[in-house]
Every structure is written in structure tokens, then in C-alpha cells.
Amino acid sequence: LSNPWGFDFNDYGQGCATCCVIPHLFHVVQGGTYHKQARPHVNPYIYDDIKTIRDHTHLSAHGGARFYLADVFPAEYRDRLFMCNIHEHAVLTDVLEPKGSSFIGHHGDDFLPTNDLAWVGFSVEIGPEGGVYVLDWHDQNICGNEVKFPNSGRIYRVMPTGVKDKVTPDLSAMSDVELVEYQLHSNDWFVRHARTLLQYRQASGALNRKVVHQKLNDMLNATSEVPKRLRALWALYVTEGLTENRLFELLNDADEHVRAWSIQFLCDVSKSNAFQPERNADWVLEPDVLEKLATMAQVDPSQVVRLYLASAVQRLPFAQRWSILQGLVSHVEDVADNNLPRMYWFALEPMVPEYQRESLELVMAGKIPRLQEFVARRLIMGDGGNKKLNQVQKAEVWNGLIKK
């Protein structure tokens, strides 16, 4: 993704980037490949990257991104994305409407137009008192080639009229249990900082693990609001309070987001990582977990869950991807989704040269037409495919693909 000058996570842990020069808003997921301003993708077989989620345009330069997850602005601002626009000399907001596995980004409002050509807002933060902080480097040369006023930067805080400042408590002086309770706070500044302190204490051996994990599990089980349940889940993860058995249980949770995050955590607890060649991965899923994920790929009604499966499968050894991919590509309702067909391809693509027949059979049996096109292109264009292309040309499934 080119020029992501702002990034933040919403109340459900979904990451969004604001960008400069290119379309300004992207929903960013693990394993995704996105718009590049110039030059081809590093992987020449991407074919079709994931698109912007915006349905409108601003002037083209954006910087900073923060979801408003605090408690002093009007309720309609909750989970709204704040960003600076350098060319407009303003602070803008976008509203994200869920659509399929992703969102549509609608224009919220021109939150803070400045009418000052030297005002160059570039970064946004949300404070513990609920205010919106904006960094303004205040220089008429917005590209920074010649900084005329190096000492003129300033920070503004925006607060609703009549709201009084609150004393910010010292979280580092609080007990483990008190930090757990802050996972329910209405201002995410406290939630994130308290979670980080719990993680530090776990890493240093100072955490009362038994009490903390019991409290967080109670919160996860008893809280009705999904974002607050997710906070408990995330805190359990960073304090090493989740076992494979517990995550396996959560794959049956009634909420799609809890199921989705459980998939991510199950597949993150591994020796595999994004920089290790997939075929050499020495970690595999247990057979019962693999079977469960393959079943979810086939029958789970949630496109959010399938998005997390498509991300997770990219971290698995090739041999364990097939059964999950077979389920994923069987959903005709995913054809028009902004993420899913592309994410399915990103998981399948590196396997095509080595598993040509299996790849063809997979996409021929599936319901995502673009995958048929991509497999054919990969076989014809890729070096690995060309070495064995003659074997495939004679295959019945290859002929069927050509006819189709």
C-alpha cells in the first residue's frame, strides 16, 4: 500500500489506513495487497489488488488517522475516523458502514476547516480526557522541500463546549485487577494503555496470571457488548491467557467477530510467520483444528469469518491449505466482495506452479470465476508453471477450463 500516512483500529479491531495521493481510505487485513502509486507489485502474479473502500473523494493528500473511541463528543462520532487533509487545510471525518467482509467509507463531515493556507494538519490523536489532538506543522510549503518556518509547529486540542478537564489517573500505579476493569472503559485510550501495562507485567513475570485470566474470561463470557468482549479476548492474548483448547471452543461463539479473532490467534501461535517460505514451515495445525476450520470455511455464514480464514490460510503449510480453500471458494455470494476473491487468490497463488492439477480442479469446482482466470494466467506466465505446462495442457480439467 502506497503512502499510508495514517493508521488505526476501530472498535472491532479492524485496521484502516488513510493515504496520500492515492485513494484515501483502505480497510487493511493480514495478507492483503493494495494499491501502489507507481511501479508493479513485488509479486508479479497479484493480478488484482484490493481496492479502496471510499465512496467519495477529497483533495488528494491525507495524513493521520484515529477512530474516535472516547466519550465526550456526541454519540454519532463514536467509531468515526478522523483524518487531516493537507490540501484542504482541514480535519475531516469518514463514517464506515459494514459491507460484506469490509466497509464502505462515507464522508462524515468537514470537522475542522481552518481557512489558513499555512495550517498543515498531519497527525491526529485522541486524549485520555476525550479530546481530539491535531498536529499542525504550520508551513506554506506542504511538501516539505523547503521548510521556511522550522519552529512554527503547534498542537491543537479540540473539545466540545462546556466539557471540563478530568484528572488522568496514573495507570502504572494500579493493580492488575484495576487494569482489567479498565478494559470496559468508554475511552479506548485507557483500554489500550491498560492492556499494554498488563502485557508488560506478563513479560516481566509480575502479573498475577491466575486472577487476571479469570477476570478476563468472566468479562469475555458475561459482557453483552461485542467490542468489550473483544477487548477481553485481546487482553487474554497479550497476557498469554489463551490456550488452543479455549480458542477451539470460541470457534463456536455466537458472534462472528469473536470467531474471527479466535481463528487469527489459533493460527498466530506458531513457528510460521510472514517471512518464512510457506512450503518450509515446520508447524502445522492439529488435525481436529484443521478439520474445524475447513468446516467453517464451508458452512459459516459470516463473510468476516471467511476473511479471517483467508488470512490465516496464508500462514499455513501448503498441504494444510487445500481443505480450507475448497470451502472458501464454494461461496458464490463472495464474488462481488471487495476482499474475499482476492484474498483467496493470494492464498492459492504460490501453490499453483507446484500443484497445477489440484489448483485447476479447485477453481473449476468453486464459484469464484476470477480464480479460474488467475490460475490460467499463473500457469502460462509463471516460470514454475512453464516447466510443467505440457503435463497440464493434456489434462481434462485444463481443457474444461479453456472451454468454460
- pLDDT tens digit string along 227-254? 999 999 999 999 999 999 999 999 999 9
pLDDT at 272: 41
pLDDT at residue 386 greater than cutoff 70? no
In a domain, 397, yes or no: no
User: Could you give the 3-state DSSP secondary structure of residue 340?
Assistant: helix
Give the chain's end-to-end CA distance (angstroms, integer).
34
**Is 152 within 8 Å of 134 (Cβ atoms)?**
no
Helix axes 340-348, 303-313, angle to 10 degrees: 20
Distance CA 298, CA 304 (A): 14
In a domain, 340, yes or no: no
pLDDT at 222: 96
pLDDT band at 120 (very low <50, low <70, confident <90, very high): confident
Cα 314 to Cα 5, 321, 343, distances in angstroms: 26, 8, 9
Distance CA 95, CA 158 (A): 19
Note the pTM of the prediction, 2 decimals.
0.92
Distance CA 248, CA 226 (A): 19
pLDDT band at 122 (very low <50, low <70, confident <90, very high): confident
Distance CA 49, CA 241 (A): 36
Task: DSSP letter for 334, please.
Answer: G
Of residues 8 and 140, more confidently modeled: 8
In a domain, 301, yes or no: no
In a domain, 290, yes or no: no
* Nearest one of 10, 84, 15, 101 to 335, comparing CA atoms: 101
The total of structural domains in the chain comes to: 1
Length in residues, the chain: 404
Distance CA 164, CA 181 (A): 24
Pairing of strands 81-85, 62-67: antiparallel
Q: Which pLDDT tens digit goes with each residue over 26-46?
A: 999 999 999 988 889 999 999
Q: Which pLDDT tens digit goes with each residue over 356-384?
A: 999 999 999 999 999 999 999 999 886 65
pLDDT at 381: 82
Distance CA 270, CA 260 (A): 17
In a domain, 268, yes or no: no
Q: Which residue has the cell 513457528?
A: 271
In a domain, 269, yes or no: no
pLDDT at residue 275 greater than cutoff 50? no
Instruction: Report CA torsion sign: 226, 228, 230, 34.
Output: positive
Q: Which residues span the domain enclosing 103? A: 4-158
How many beta carbons lie within 10 A of that of residue 44, not counting itself?
10
User: Helices (DSSP H) in 54-156: which residue ranges?
Assistant: none
pLDDT at 251: 98
Cell of 280: 518450509
Among 69-83, 153-167, 360-374, where is mean pLDDT lowest?
A: 153-167
Beta strands in 300-361 (DSSP E): none
- 3-state DSSP percent of the chain in helix, strand and coil, to 5: 45, 15, 40
**Is 334 within 8 Å of 295 (Cβ atoms)?**
no
In a domain, 114, yes or no: yes
Distance CA 250, CA 235 (A): 15
In a domain, 183, yes or no: no
Of residues 171 and 142, more confidently modeled: 171
Q: Which residue has the cell 462520532?
A: 77
**Is 104 within 8 Å of 97 (Cβ atoms)?**
yes
In the Cβ-directed half-sphere of 110, how many Cα atoms lie within 13 Å? 10
* Nearest one of 188, 221, 266, 202 to 12, comparing CA atoms: 188
Cell of 241: 491467557
